A and B are shown apart, each in its own frame.
Chain A
Amino acid sequence: MNTEVGISLRDAIPFIPELVIICTGLIAMMLDLVVRKKGPVAAFVVFGTLVAGYAMCKLNGFNEPQSAFLNMFILDGYAGFFKLIFFINLILTVCISYRYMIIEKSSYGEYYSLLTFATAGMMVMASATDLITLYLGLELMALSTYILAGLMRNDRRSNEAALKYFFLGAFSSAFLLYGISLTYGMTGTTNLNEISATIQNLNIAGNPILFLGLIFIMTAFAFKIALAPFHMWAPDVYEGAPTSVTAFMSVGPKAAGFAVLGRVLFEAFGSMQVQWTNILIPLALLTMAVGSIVALSQTNIKRMLAYSSVAHASYMLLGVIAGTPAGLVSTINYLLIYTFMNIGAFAIVILLRSEGFQGQDLDDYRGLAKSNPLAAALMLVFMFSLTGIPPTAGFIGKFYVFMELINADKTYLAVIAVAFSAISAFFYLRVVMYMYMKDSDEPRTISCSPSMNVALAVTALMVIVLGIYPEPVLNYVKTVVFG
């Protein structure tokens, strides 16, 4: 037994972005005690995130992967790109939530700290090359988001959302642990690369217990990225949680779930690809069907967007199912695009929320084009993008995923996915129809703020730019992720 511990301070270098984010969260918590208004706290969190992003680019992990802590942690292009998505997610969420949390009378400073801690957890997940780090990152993210979901303490729906999220989240992480324990028992290691090597050396790819472990691990991730039939919590939690938190967790935990799913399946269980592809295909088809069809009957816009995000998870999964590095690149590209369009759509939902007016029902969107043409036009862009209509970014995302599926000889899946995405057009375009073709005589106030305007401008611009001229970003993803 090797008792020598070989961790030095040098190991902390690839970990600097996480350290910066964690310190930002801690200082934000302290700052909250000193200042009464929450503006400085929010601004500080944005500043800290920018510093972390700068530090990550300086470390240059994109070109030369650096591992640390006895190969339990790695900063490479794959992790780095996911971290960029998390930073974008965090900054946009802070921008859209400042005014909203005041309206909801839940403007606590802890809100911003918890957002940063959840982001730190996601970053650790994206960088984890060991099942132990993976588990710790996942729990840091999950525990922070449970609290965020229940932040509106006096709102019964928020209480219920936090409760449901907590119970199902804790249930799924127990499954993850059981899967880890079985995998550890069969391979004798928790390191992803060593697991892969052991599976090949001992030739145990067909071992039923190892397969059971893989199934348990995948079940836990299916919970996190809300794949049917493990999506039950998503609509309730998305509806009950504060809208800004919904925006945050419809992107962040999903992206983090895909980051670990890609790494675990490709790195550790690469030799069992046939088995996990056979599990993922029915899951993806079921998710697509549930997401697109159940969303048709929703009248609450947050609930509709929840089912829409369930459906989008299945399109992203198709890139993983393609089973090639190019397929994984198309998934990551889709995630980046999804970040902008989904946060943009939730930003409009937040825009409609004002004192004494919930603005969550489809009926509240009646005649928005007359009263607030700009807000309606932006919502139009986001809805078109979520549907996948060119020239918006959503089209590019879907296009590349489907192309990689066809390249991998899974054309039938691409055909089914196109059919379901045509069905989903109905509920996205219904929002557009309500805004542009129905009239309402109620006066409507919109809760604008400078930071909200910035977030809306950035998301709308990115959705259009990525839709018209996607090559630079696509090539960047390709080179960054796979050299």
Chain B
Amino acid sequence: MVPLSWYIILSAVLFCIGVFGFLARRNMIVMFISIELMLNAVNISLVAFSHYLQQVTGQILVFFVITVAAAEAAIGLAILIAYYKNNPTVKADDASLMKG
């Protein structure tokens, strides 16, 4: 039996990797993947807590998170494509038309 704390540590580590990837990587696709990693890290901890507490609430939330993440991916990639049509680059640092 794997104790709860292992799952929680795994989820925390994955979340931190996601945050690091988002902040450190400059490729927008990779940044997007990092966000998905963060969401799935949350899903792991929710399922673990839900199993530990013997409740379904956490797992229900996971279903919603997965659904919303799919919608978010559709919209995010659409925005990325609209951006790419006018500015053919995927480097985040190039998106600097406005600053100050």
A→B interface (CB under 8 Å): 1, 131-132, 135-136, 139, 143, 146-147, 150, 153-154, 156-157, 159-164, 166-167, 170-171, 174, 177-178, 180-182, 184-185, 188-190, 235-236, 239-240, 297-298, 303
Contact = CB atoms under 8 A, between A and B. Distances in A.
A178 B82 contact: no
B86 A303 contact: no
Contact of B82 (A131, A150, A297, A303): A150
Given A166-B79, A170-B76, A185 B49 contact: yes
B11 to A, nearest CB: 8
B98 A178 contact: no
Given A147-B78, A159-B86, A160-B87, 5 more contacts: A150-B79, A163-B79, A174-B38, A174-B42, A184-B57
Nearest to B39: A174
B79 A160 contact: no
B75 A167 contact: no
A132 B60 contact: yes
Contacts of B8: 185
A47 to B, nearest CB: 28
Interface of B: 8, 11, 15, 18, 22, 28, 31-32, 35, 38-39, 41-42, 45-46, 49, 52-58, 60-61, 64-65, 68, 71-72, 75-76, 78-80, 82-83, 85-87, 92, 95, 97-100
Contacts of B97: 156-157, 160, 240
Given A153-B82, A156-B87, A174-B39, A166 B45 contact: no
A146 B18 CA distance: 21
A159 B22 contact: no
24 contacts: A135-B64, A139-B71, A146-B75, A146-B79, A157-B97, A157-B98, A159-B82, A159-B83, A160-B97, A162-B79, A166-B76, A167-B22, A167-B92, A174-B39, A174-B42, A178-B15, A178-B45, A180-B61, A185-B45, A185-B49, A185-B53, A188-B53, A189-B57, A190-B61
Contact of B61 (A171, A184, A297): A184
Contacts of A167: 22, 28, 31-32, 35, 76, 92
Contacts of B28: 163, 167
Contacts of A143: 71-72, 75
Contacts of A1: 54-56
B82 A162 contact: yes
B22 A188 contact: no
B39 A139 contact: no
A171 B72 CA distance: 11
Q: Which of A132, A143, A178 has the most B CB atoms < 10 Å from its CB?
A: A178
B41 A156 contact: no
Contacts of B80: 163
B82 A239 contact: no
A178 B71 CA distance: 19
A159 B87 contact: yes
A153 B79 CA distance: 9
A147 B75 contact: yes
B83 to A, nearest CB: 4
A171 B41 CA distance: 13
Contacts of B87: 156, 159-160
A359 B44 CA distance: 50
A47 B32 CA distance: 39
Nearest to A299: B100
Contact of B83 (A163, A180, A188, A298): A163
A147 to B, nearest CB: 6
A283 B95 CA distance: 28
Contacts of B58: 181, 184
A5 to B, nearest CB: 11
Contacts of A162: 79, 82-83
A240 B65 CA distance: 29
A333 B48 CA distance: 42
